[in-house]
Structure 1
Amino acid sequence: MKKPIQKMHGANAIGGYLCNSKMIALIPLCFAPAVLAADNNINPSASAITLEPMTVTHKRSIANPLNTTEIDDKKVRSKQAAVSDTAKLLEDTPGVSLYGSGGVSSLPVIHGLSDDRVKINVNGMTITSACANHMNPPLSYIDRSNIGKITIMSGVTPVSMGGDSIGGTIAVESLDPVFAEPGKDILLDGSASSFYRSNGDAFGGSIAAGIANQNVRLDYTGSHTESMNYNDANGDNVQSSSYRNQNHAASLSFKSDNHLVVIKGGQQHIPYQNFPNARMDLTNNDSIFGNITHKGKFDWGSLDSNFYFESTKHSMDIGEDKHNRFLTAAGGGSFAPPNDYMPMESRGRNLGYKIQAEIPVTERDTFRIGNEFHSNRINDFWPAVHNNTSIPASQPANARAAYWMMAPENFVNLNNAERDRVGFFGEWEARWSPKWNTLLGLRYDHTNTDTGAVQPYNPNLLGGAMAAGAGFSLSAANAFNAKDRERNTDTFDVTALVQYTPNDLSDYELGYARKNRAPNLYERYTWGARKMDMAMNGAFGDGNGYVGNMDLTEETAHTVSFTAAFHEPKNSLWEVKATPYFTYVNNFIDADRCSGSTNGASGCDASNQTATERFVYLQYANHDARLWGMDVSGRADLFSDKTYGDFSTHTVMSYVRGQRMDGGNLYHMMPFNMKLSLDHKRNGWDSAVEMQFVDSKDDVQGIRNETTTPSYILLNARTGYEWKMLRLDVGLDNVLDKQYYQPLAGSYLGDRYGMNPTADANVTVPWGRNVAGMGRSAFVGLTVKY
């Protein structure tokens, strides 16, 4: 039996050679012009020798499949002024879309699979959201100013990149440490940046500073961002869209011969982040983390290891934009103070490690073996709004029955819930010939989950069993506590990739993956069955109420993916890539409308089964499902001139469909969407005009009463200039001030009190409204480097 209820606290051109990062062997030639120019006794034109053009290429490892996208620090910096949300750096990635959420907490979706189904590593750490509404997802824990590289694998993912996920993989890394060059004692470097965006009066800044010798480096990064509510194109204020966020991190790095050790630590403080598609708002989020990484090279290969710890204190309540506005108009009633508050607290902890060895056995064969462990703890409790044991005379008569709705004890949603996973994997990469490469991988994971006993607000039935459904809530808690709550899951993942390169023009890749994910703690162990309790557990932005299911089984996904990539081989003037895919998921964790209750406090009554234009109450359930779609991306150089600069274009197109095998669509499937950009570069200038098209969302899920959204086209423009130590960015998003609704932004809940999803619309949130997108917004950003 578990413990009792407790709290857890330029390329330079010379002689026909193109000097770039792929020509390591020719690096000295890149500096030849400077050397020649420095010597006044040499005439470069007289001594130059014209050679035939030559291209040196880098052979890509199949461990980074063709559908892998990398976003480097230069691309990250170019977007810092335009976005505050780290997840929005992924918007130009084929196959990736975003669930709308708070200002710094969007949830990535890869090929229709979202949230915990996507493996996200932040500097090697696996971080699980410690919130019933998933307001603190992994990418919210690192500011975009502290990112050096993002790697997105949007299709078949090698087993070495992580288990317990059936979607793709996103790996976020800070900049690698830079040490002083030989002969120099001290290296000092850093940067400072600031930005302003007109819509929402968003502003912020970041600072980075480092000091190093040849073997030791110390770094600090800090950032601050905040915004008021933004306005849509109609000029209406989108309530509950404001936020404030602060991040601090430090690292100490040691380099010795072929070894690198990096020790990181950091802290995050979010005093508030409001959510237009949730019934609650984040009123505080404090997190600390520690991380030790070692990378070593030996005669036999390489060994990488990572150990980490993360702790979160998370608070939610009804924010100012939702609080009391319509209660006063409705005359108070049962929701008069103090029952118009809904404090919720959670404490989360993540602890883990990963050790991986890469062993090149022969020139053809490379093996990777590894072991990882992740431990997650969540304590989720809802403090009582008062601890009186009798009703004060000041309480209105029409609210006396509801006085015990959230009192006098704490509601325990998850009691020291635990989820521990240990995994082992092995991979074999083989280069059979210059044209053929293969990758085979096998992985085993064991996942154990458990939780302690729970309790409702009013376990002693003060005011009687009928008072605010106290008796019904107590019965649900007793039934939950009577069960054996420990669950164990054993899963095997398999990955197989074959890559064929017939010539310099094309590459082909075919992959199959069998991937698994065990249920998370909220899917398995939330138990509250009253309308209000279920409404507080919802991570989907749909306004519906949810209850867990202890008998859920693991999801098993079978994915087949094919990628064809074509490129101009001589000067890389153009490239195009297409990836069709199909995924069949056994026991996909979706939801069914709950039923079988006649108690008035429960939403699981007969009307819940047939309701079409209202919010509903659901229980997590396993169903077989299938998803399919295609990603297309391409780029081309259009025109190059010494006077006017270089013009190019790039595009990204994605389409996905998802269906349950017993009928109906899956929730939040992104409709066809594309981006087309005209890009220009000249000296330090870097500009782009972008058109974004999103088709209407008509294939919606009836079980959740998901709403449709219309199609739209947006136009964005930006330009930037970079000097040696200074960069200036300006731009205009939604140039035409188009009113639009993002398909995955969810239901608009931001302007009203909404604890009871099916109450009178005069008191609570009406069904059928989508969150509006941001209207026209100008931005400016300035970065100084030294």
Structure 2
Amino acid sequence: MILVGSNSKLTLFLTFERRIMKKICTDNQQTVRHVPSSVTTGLGLLGLLATGMLPLGFSSAVSADDTIENSLVDEVVLEKVIVTDKFPGVKALNASDMEADILTSKRAAVSDTAKLLEDTPGVSLYGAGGVSSLPVIHGLNDDRVKIDINGMTLTSACANHMNPPLSYIDRSNIGKITILTGVTPVSLGGDSIGGTISVQTPDPVFAEPGKDILLDGSVSSFYRSNGDAFGGSIAAGVATQNVRLDYTGSHTESMNYNDGNGQIVKSTAYENQNHSAALSFKTDKHLVVIRGGQQHIPFQGFPNQRMDLTNNDSIFGNIMHKGSFDWGSLESKFYFESTQHSMDIGEDKHSQFLDGTASGGTFAPPNDQMPMETRGRNLGYKIQAEIPFNKRDTFRIGNEYHSNKINDYWPAVHTNTSIAANNTDARSAYWMMAPEAYLNINNGERDRVGFFGEWEANWDAKWRSLLGLRYDHTTTNTGEVQPYNPDLINTGPTRAVDRAGAITALNAANAFNARDRERSNDTFDVTALVQFTPNDMSQYELGYARKNRAPNLYERYVWGARNMDMAMIGWHGDGNGYVGNMDLTEETAHTVSLTAAFHEPKNNLWEVNVTPYFTYVNNFIDVDRCISASNAAASGCKATPQTATNSFVYLQYANHDARLWGMDVSGRTRIYKDQTVGEFAAHTTMSYVRGERMDGGNLYHMMPFNMKLSLDHRLSSWQSAIEMQFVDGKDDVQAIRNETETAAYILLNARTGYEWGKVRFDVGLDNVLDKQYYHPLAGAYLGDRYGMNPTAAANVTVPWGRNIAGMGRSAFVGLTIKF
């Protein structure tokens, strides 16, 4: 039973639900023997709300013999209500849902979908391009976080991860985001050791019975002063009672932003376009949605990379089916995605010395090019069945498959012929990046098939549990590779340093090709979760998870040992050079987390949530300073950088055991409420994480203690907030990468929004005090200089030791009109 509470409280929620019940009952005196589960879910939620227990989601049962008197509902009278359903399903206490109303209030202030997550405890972001931040959950970043976009698992098609999964969906086309920062059920995880982020577009809405056609949609626009960022989006749909067609489109662009000192932060400009369409069909028990879309990014600067994104074209298609059967429900998803990605040295990085003057000679345009091309493909499916076995037990079983294919090659660069004809050095440099294409990853494939099963048990109103087991089989392989110049006998550079580099590249390719490159990983995930609710004021959750992740194609198969080649690899934003390791094994993480949630039960005046956690990772994929038998000047893996402490270095991916621990805290309280002045409230989030390698030293990019405190006001359709953000200094840095420290800072933000009918207006001011600050995870500043060789002479490369400055004061305004 899920109808709960005393008769007086039942009166309240039945009054709210009288319209739903009127459609179920046609007579004024009728006994309902069965109510569809979709209706009982709604009744259950309202019942929980009526008894002041919604945050806990638990309640006591009501006897089937309880009689509801005729006076309780004015439109329909029920003598008896018998509901055949069970307690609500298990939901992790540290799971956060961002619904449409929350997302709408944030869209005008950001262009990057990932930045919608910043207020979630335990979530932080690696700095990247303007629409391509990389999410981090409890210190575990990027591929370690499971990201699901409408059921699609997408892998970045870039050696610098410039097109991460969240960059493929515009923030204007999101209906709901679910973030699980702690123990993730096996049905929502797989091939990840961090949390899970699930992003869904808005659910299709159909015409109501009796109406032939439904037309709806919205138009939005925004402007932000810092960087002259502007853009807009449109959504339009037409539907009958059973068929719906949707279109969404968006465009955003920005110039470089200014920091708190008024200085331009170069390589921060971007432009992004997205288009998608969906065709939906529904019957009484089935829903089918067919989606397709296209993305075009003509440019996106990356201030913490040596390259910029010069073009990114992606198309996708997916089919989703949800069906209800007598035995339970079935959900199936099939998807395909293809990306054509291009990188090169952007305008802000073109051939400048430290004094800003053009370098000229061999490195003058167009000889400072470094084109890189990637073709990526994602293909997969997921099928999941949910089987309610009885009132207490529910089982979920499923199977999924994901295939990722990458071709990463760097076209030959043909030096300016007029220079080459009269310059021996230029002719030699020509052969460094010619005459053939450099094959970085040749027909790389990563295929994963997984099977999982879950048992959810609702023992009573106080105890719930979830137990899951998952198996994944992952295989990777790649073809033979080649450097720019695979034939040094007949062609090749003449200058000694250039020839040494070409020899280093050729030797590395030959060693790579001589090995058997196929690898496989068999992994088992286990999740166990138990929830206990001793009373209507508190709830506790204890969870354990064993999760695994196999290496990605770049960690395992990038092979170049020349300093320039290694500088092109890495999504870490540290300016260092990277080379892969074919002998990497999978990461296995053991996580224990405990959540304690407290709230005021009568009027929901306050709530506090505290989550400490600990993770031990076997074979964490980190790095070592790379070592090579060659000590040639052009080799990155030589003796010189092994002990460097104040320069960029060259690194190789390597397995090391590690541990991470920390705590998330969130809370809110009502301060004052009055019908005339409205409601004043405050909410806060606090997070802290530490990461260490078991052989000594810190892990890279651990977010220091950070806190947000917001004073909120609501009066009818008017919402406002003043927010203070504190970030502690980062001094627990990783010595192996020569990671730089950052200072503590405090930012002040203010915003307000008003919704009048179908029109919403937002305005705000970020970094009100125009504070100069450096975000701890923003990375090294490489955006204003030519830096092909990280360890070249100081006057011809970008210097080490500079952090990226954050954005200065920025006003924003947004307008949304619905129809």
Q: Into which bin does the TM-score normalised by the smaller protein fall?
A: over 0.9
**Residue in 2 aligned with 1:40?**
none
1:763 counterpart letter in structure 2: V
Within the alignment, does 1:507 sit opposite 2:539 as a pair? yes
Within the alignment, does 1:640 sit opposite 2:673 as a pair? yes
2:408 counterpart letter in structure 1: D
Within the alignment, does 1:618 sit opposite 2:651 as a pair? yes
Within the alignment, does 1:346 sit opposite 2:379 as a pair? no
Within the alignment, does 1:779 sit opposite 2:812 as a pair? yes
Query: Alignment partner of 2:198: what SS?
Result: strand
- 1:719-734 to 2 correspondence within 5 Å? 719-734=752-767
Whole-Å Cα distance in 1 between the matches of residues 254 and 789 of structure 2?
29
CA shift for structure 1 position 330? 6.6
**Residue in 1 aligned with 2:557?**
525
**Residue in 2 aligned with 1:174?**
201
Whole-Å Cα distance in 2 between the matches of residues 197 and 189 of structure 1?
28
Change (3 A) 1:433 1:101: same
Residues 338 and 385, structure 1, Cα contact 8 Å, conserved in 2: no
1:371 counterpart letter in structure 2: N
**Residue in 2 aligned with 1:81?**
108
Q: Spell out, residue by residue over 1:300-322, the C-alpha distance to the aligned partner (whole angstroms, 9 max, x if none).
A: 11100100000000000000000
Whole-Å Cα distance in 1 between the matches of residues 552 and 90 of structure 2?
28
Change (3 A) 1:393 1:526: closer
Query: Alignment partner of 2:492: what SS?
Result: coil
- 1:177-256 to 2 correspondence within 5 Å? 177-256=204-283
Selected match of 1:594 from 604, 607, 626 = 626
Residues 391 and 400, structure 1, Cα contact 8 Å, conserved in 2: no
**Residue in 2 aligned with 1:553?**
585
CA shift for structure 1 position 479? 0.6
Selected match of 1:683 from 712, 716, 724 = 716
Whole-Å Cα distance in 2 between the matches of residues 747 and 56 of structure 1?
48
Whole-Å Cα distance in 2 between the matches of residues 397 and 716 of structure 1?
57
Selected match of 1:563 from 577, 590, 595 = 595
1:524 counterpart letter in structure 2: R
**Residue in 2 aligned with 1:69?**
96
Q: Spell out, residue by residue over 1:23-43, the C-alpha distance to the aligned partner (whole angstroms, 9 max, x if none).
A: 4773239999xxxxxxxxxxx
1:244 counterpart letter in structure 2: E
CA shift for structure 1 position 404? 1.5
Q: Spell out, residue by residue over 1:287-340, the C-alpha distance to the aligned partner (whole angstroms, 9 max, x if none).
A: 000010001111111100100000000000000000123398474354244431
Selected match of 2:739 from 688, 706, 714 = 706
**Residue in 1 aligned with 2:508?**
476
1:591 counterpart letter in structure 2: V
Residues 62 and 439, structure 1, Cα contact 8 Å, conserved in 2: no
Q: Spell out, residue by residue over 1:27-69, the C-alpha distance to the aligned partner (whole angstroms, 9 max, x if none).
A: 239999xxxxxxxxxxxxxxxxxxx985474458564211100
TM-score when normalising by structure 2: 0.89
Query: Alignment partner of 2:257: what SS?
Result: coil
Query: Alignment partner of 1:534: what SS?
Result: helix
Residues 19 and 29, structure 1, Cα contact 8 Å, conserved in 2: no
Deviates more, 1:760-769 or 1:127-136: 760-769
Selected match of 1:540 from 559, 566, 572 = 572
Whole-Å Cα distance in 1 between the matches of residues 300 and 411 of structure 2?
20
**Residue in 1 aligned with 2:610?**
578
Residues 18 and 55, structure 1, Cα contact 8 Å, conserved in 2: no
2:360 counterpart letter in structure 1: G
1:301 counterpart letter in structure 2: G
Residues 55 and 570, structure 1, Cα contact 8 Å, conserved in 2: yes
Query: Alignment partner of 1:321: what SS?
Result: helix
Whole-Å Cα distance in 1 between the matches of residues 50 and 555 of structure 2?
59
Q: Spell out, residue by residue over 1:429-460, the C-alpha distance to the aligned partner (whole angstroms, 9 max, x if none).
A: 01111111111000000000000010000111
Residues 89 and 458, structure 2, Cα contact 8 Å, conserved in 1: no
**Residue in 1 aligned with 2:184?**
157
Change (3 A) 1:393 1:555: closer
Whole-Å Cα distance in 2 between the matches of residues 458 and 765 of structure 1?
27
Change (3 A) 1:330 1:687: closer
Residues 474 and 550, structure 2, Cα contact 8 Å, conserved in 1: yes
2:802 counterpart letter in structure 1: R
Change (3 A) 1:93 1:523: same
Whole-Å Cα distance in 2 between the matches of residues 508 and 19 of structure 1?
30
**Residue in 2 aligned with 1:35?**
none
Within the alignment, does 1:697 sit opposite 2:730 as a pair? yes
Whole-Å Cα distance in 2 between the matches of residues 18 and 282 of structure 1?
58
Query: Alignment partner of 1:502: what SS?
Result: strand
Change (3 A) 1:250 1:645: same
Q: Spell out, residue by residue over 1:626-680, the C-alpha distance to the aligned partner (whole angstroms, 9 max, x if none).
A: 0000000011111110100011111000000000000000000000000000000
Whole-Å Cα distance in 2 between the matches of residues 310 and 620 of structure 1?
28
Residues 387 and 408, structure 1, Cα contact 8 Å, conserved in 2: no
Query: Alignment partner of 1:125: what SS?
Result: coil
Query: Alignment partner of 2:484: what SS?
Result: coil
Whole-Å Cα distance in 2 between the matches of residues 555 and 628 of structure 1?
17
**Residue in 2 aligned with 1:630?**
663
**Residue in 1 aligned with 2:396?**
368
Whole-Å Cα distance in 2 between the matches of residues 519 and 602 of structure 1?
25
Query: Alignment partner of 1:159: what SS?
Result: coil
CA shift for structure 1 position 414? 0.3
Residues 339 and 405, structure 1, Cα contact 8 Å, conserved in 2: no
Whole-Å Cα distance in 1 between the matches of residues 763 and 655 of structure 2?
48
Whole-Å Cα distance in 1 between the matches of residues 360 and 50 of structure 2?
80
Whole-Å Cα distance in 1 between the matches of residues 742 and 352 of structure 2?
28
**Residue in 1 aligned with 2:492?**
463
Residues 62 and 438, structure 1, Cα contact 8 Å, conserved in 2: no
**Residue in 2 aligned with 1:26?**
16
In the alignment, structure 2 segments of 5+ residues that lack a partner are: 1-6, 23-48, 59-86
Within the alignment, does 1:764 sit opposite 2:793 as a pair? no
Whole-Å Cα distance in 1 between the matches of residues 159 and 219 of structure 2?
36
Residues 305 and 783, structure 2, Cα contact 8 Å, conserved in 1: yes
- 1:283-294 to 2 correspondence within 5 Å? 283-294=310-321
Change (3 A) 1:657 1:497: same
Change (3 A) 1:56 1:103: same
CA shift for structure 1 position 570? 1.5
Fraction of identical pairs, as percent: 76
Query: Alignment partner of 2:16: what SS?
Result: helix
Selected match of 1:671 from 704, 711, 715 = 704
CA shift for structure 1 position 463? 2.9
Q: Spell out, residue by residue over 1:592-633, the C-alpha distance to the aligned partner (whole angstroms, 9 max, x if none).
A: 001133111102111111101000000000000000000000
Within the alignment, does 1:314 sit opposite 2:341 as a pair? yes
**Residue in 1 aligned with 2:332?**
305
Change (3 A) 1:224 1:16: farther
Deviates more, 1:331-340 or 1:427-436: 331-340
Q: Spell out, residue by residue over 1:114-164, the C-alpha distance to the aligned partner (whole angstroms, 9 max, x if none).
A: 000000000000000000000000000000000000000001000000200
**Residue in 2 aligned with 1:325?**
352
Residues 336 and 399, structure 1, Cα contact 8 Å, conserved in 2: no
Whole-Å Cα distance in 2 between the matches of residues 56 and 581 of structure 1?
26
Report how many aligned residue pairs link the two structures: 750
Residues 585 and 624, structure 1, Cα contact 8 Å, conserved in 2: yes
Change (3 A) 1:682 1:331: closer
